[in-house]
Amino acid sequence: MMKTIKFVCIVVVLVLSVFVLFACEGGQVGRSAFDIWLEAGNVGTEADFLQWLRGSAGQDGEDGKDGLSAFEIWLAAGNIGDEEYFLEWLRRPPVVISNFTLSFNGTNFDCITLPKGAPIWQPSSPTRINFKFDGWYTDGDFEMQVIFPFVLDDDTVLYAKWSAGMVSAGNFHTLKIDAEGSLWAWGSNNAGQIGDGTQVARYLPVRIMRCTLFFHVSAGNLHSLAIDTCGNLWAWGYNGNGRLGDGTLIMRRTPVKIKQGTLFSHVSAGENHSVAIDRQGNLWAWGSNNFGGLGDGTTTNRHYPIRIMNGIRIFYISAGSWHSLAIDNDGNLWVWGDNRNGQLGDGTMEDRHLPVRIEFEK
């Protein structure tokens, strides 16, 4: 009998401890264990909740009328651990918890004060005119993106990353992707490089492919290239030497999809040729191959993308008039093509039909 009374007393103490700890530590921002209990469909006061909690803990985690045990309420409050850790946690005496400040850089959000150990759930996305919100980061260089929820254990600043789309200037026309991903074009249109189905010059921006969103664009001499948010590559305009990459020499007044089945991450339109990187880091080139600007070891024009630099993952590319440059994932610079003015930087004026790596003196 005395053992039974002692066990009940221990349970009551533990239940009271967990109730106090729930009240002190809370759970998700602004939600206590009592709040979660109410949200589960229960009706009653905090005293009713305490009585329910006693019954749940006293029955070794048996579910209450709403199907949630004390352990599950503890988890729902934002805590992490198994039942063994939960029981150990129950035995801890209530402590005074330090408060920390969570602030939001790059927004008009107010700072908030939260207790140490409080889980931080993803806040609503901020808004900014003419900009797109790209997520929360823990550093101003935007290298460490926040994964929610996370536990607050110090004063913390969340940095909002914004993007304003992208713009590219060709010889006589311009392409722009706005913050929402819409594609716009304006300027000379004598070869259909605007992509609106005409050859009429546009003195104001016109939207291209209204039902498709884009994230990367590049304007060449008389042709245009763009990658949509799914990774599909599109090309339009003048197709001399096969610079569009659709396997023909036909001028295109509206965008056509290039190399279907391959998803791309970066593209560059030169004056007479094009280069692109797919999502695996493979490099592709097509169009005019005068002076070896495609880097395949020949001077043969290519009307369809061909893969070059097999085995080397590429990070960034740029196409010039007759030459090309690429940076690999290790930061090495590679160049090839026309070198009549020393534009390759290899110390010679010899054309390169294959990529050569450029060394920089320390």
Whether residue 286 is found in the same domain as residue 184: yes
DSSP secondary structure, 163-183, as one string: E--EEEE-SSEEEEE-TTS-E
Whether residue 291 is found in the same domain as residue 217: yes
Whether residue 136 is found in the same domain as residue 54: no
pLDDT of residue 292: 97
Which residue, among 190, 305, 191, has the nearest Cα to 242 in the 3D structure? Answer: 305
Instruction: Let me know: does 328 contact 341? Beta carbons within 8 Å.
Output: no
Q: How many domains does the chain have?
A: 3
pLDDT of residue 47: 64
Q: In this structure, what token pair is assigned to residue 346?
A: 């290899």
**What span, in angstroms and rounded, lies between the C-alpha atoms of 274 and 283?**
11
Whether residue 183 is found in the same domain as residue 318: yes
Which residue do the tokens 């409050």 mark?
77
Whether residue 219 is found in the same domain as residue 200: yes
pLDDT of residue 147: 83
The 132-137 sheet, strands edge to edge: 112-115, 99-105, 156-163, 132-137
pLDDT of residue 99: 75
Which residue, among 356, 258, 274, has the nearest Cα to 321 in the 3D structure? Answer: 274
pLDDT of residue 16: 36
Whether residue 201 is found in the same domain as residue 118: no
pLDDT of residue 353: 98
pLDDT of residue 92: 53
Which residue, among 306, 285, 206, has the nearest Cα to 253 in the 3D structure? Answer: 206
Dihedral-angle region of residue 33 (phi above 0 means left; psi in -120 to 50 means alpha; beta otherwise): alpha
pLDDT of residue 26: 38
Q: 10 Å Cβ neighbour count for 257?
A: 12
| pLDDT < 70: residue spans in the chain | 1-37, 40, 46-68, 70, 74, 77-79, 86-98, 129-130
Which residue, among 103, 81, 102, 100, has the nearest Cα to 90 in the 3D structure? Answer: 81
pLDDT of residue 138: 86
Whether residue 239 is found in the same domain as residue 329: yes
Whether residue 320 is found in the same domain as residue 226: yes
Whether residue 261 is found in the same domain as residue 223: yes
* Residue range(s) defining the domain that contains residue 59: 2-90
CATH number for the domain harbouring residue 109: 2.60.40.4270
Whether residue 72 is found in the same domain as residue 141: no
Whether residue 200 is found in the same domain as residue 297: yes
Boundary residue ending a domain (90, 116, 138): 90
Whether residue 262 is found in the same domain as residue 301: yes
pTM given for the model? 0.62
